Amino acid sequence: MAFIIKWNLFIGIVAFMAYVIQKIMGKRLGHYWRKVVWILLTIKMCFPFWSVTEKFRQHFFIISMPAYYMGEQNQKTAIMTKIGNVSIREWMSGEKFLPYIWLAGMILCLLFHAIQYRIWKKRIFAECKRMQKNSVLEALKKASEVCKIKKTEIWVCENQDFYSPMLFGVRNTKVLIPQEMLETENYSYEEWYLIFLHELTHQKKHDLWYKRFLQIIRDVYWFCIPMLWVQKMANIDIECVCDETVTKHMNLTQRKDYCNVILKVASKQTKKELSGVVSMVSETEILKERFYNVFLARKKLRIYVTVFLFGIIILSFSEMQIARQIWSSSHIENCPKCKAAVQGEVVWNAWENEKNVVCTHQYAWGDDLQKARYGVEKIRCNECGNFFEIKIRQEKIVCHGYND
């Protein structure tokens, strides 16, 4: 339960901060910095899996656990009181059942999106054919030379689920063109060139891999509600960063032409979002933000500073046990029943002033203050299932000596 709360709180805070900073400073920062933040966040989310799977393995074969209460041991006050066996019902309730729920939800989410992608891939091969129009192929060739991409195929798709050019396939990448664009719309050579320039920029930036990786992380962390918000903002950032790259060396007139092409394509856009693709116009609701972003002037220094600060926040804050680690720490003991090494968690009370003691420093002007705190360490042995608690006392000296 602590794992679920931690990641929901952590991702929610990061997403909220990124959203607020984008709203306040987006006019100068653009969207590239936020895309880097999502990359750092998803990479960081790959590492806590070992602790979850280890707990799952340890709890898999435990049926009943004889529980003990122990006092201090090895220079600690020893008090042992047998509490009894923990019932199977108690084990099946609470946190020990959560790894099974987490694993089942992860498998279902991964299977759902894998099957969805597989069905969509079959429909593409069944309903699409290679492009034969020479003027369109020439526009693709010119865009490929600008993006320095050697091989990309254009397929005309008769599927009625989309009306926008899109990129499909993480390995054999293809540009899918709706057949309606060739039949009903009269696109010029320059407009086709801008369309392909946009799609090939996605390919050059590996946005298909990025979206797939983000979707897998979301499926694994299916219990993390803020990931829906993160994924939505990440999709906006993908399109805005692509627009920034395409229009980077364009003048004002060329940028207007580029926005007109996007608007022309968006006039026939469906609201349905398809899995495993990068579309030129994913959502018509974000067009205003994309157009505004195309004409912004940005300062690179601020982008680098923002990414650096967010990187520090992600790498440091995710290591903290939120609110809990302040009062607890890890402690190693031996199980009194099977003598196996165990690891428990100590929950500490606050420090209390006890007494003044004589300072031993050479140039002391006053007594030292002795402080103490008490804690309870809760330990469960993974070998025999024994559960016990240990009372712990810790002391420290606050020195008032001259040399301290």
How far apart CA 304 and CA 316 sit, in angstroms, is 18
pTM value > 0.75: no
Query: Using an 8 Å Cβ cutoff, are 22 and 37 in contact?
Result: no
Which sequence spans correspond to the domains of the chain?
2-51+98-317, 70-92+327-398
DSSP for 279-311 reads: ESSS-GGGHHHHHHHHT----HHHHHHHHHHHH
The whole-angstrom separation of Cα 123 and Cα 365 is: 85
Q: Is 184 helix (H, G, I), strand (E, B) or coil?
A: coil
β-bridge mates for residue 70, sequence order: 80
Q: Round to the nearest angstrom and report the end-to-end CA distance of the chain.
A: 43
b/e map 249-267, b = 16+ CB within 10 Å: eeeeeebeebbebbeebbe
- Using the 8-state DSSP alphabet, how is residue 94 labeled? G
**Cα(199)–Cα(203) distance, integer angstroms:** 7
In tens digits, the chain (404 residues) has pLDDT values of: 667 787 888 888 888 988 888 888 776 777 888 888 888 888 888 876 444 444 444 443 333 333 333 333 433 333 333 333 333 344 444 556 777 888 899 999 999 999 988 888 887 777 777 777 777 888 888 888 888 887 666 676 665 666 678 888 777 778 888 877 777 667 888 888 898 899 888 888 888 889 999 999 999 999 889 999 998 899 888 888 888 888 888 888 888 888 888 888 877 665 555 555 566 665 666 787 888 888 876 555 555 666 666 666 665 554 444 444 444 444 555 676 776 766 667 777 777 777 776 665 555 555 666 777 887 877 777 777 777 677 777 777 666 554 44
Q: Distance of CA 386 to CAs 68, 79, 83, 372, Å?
A: 7, 16, 11, 29
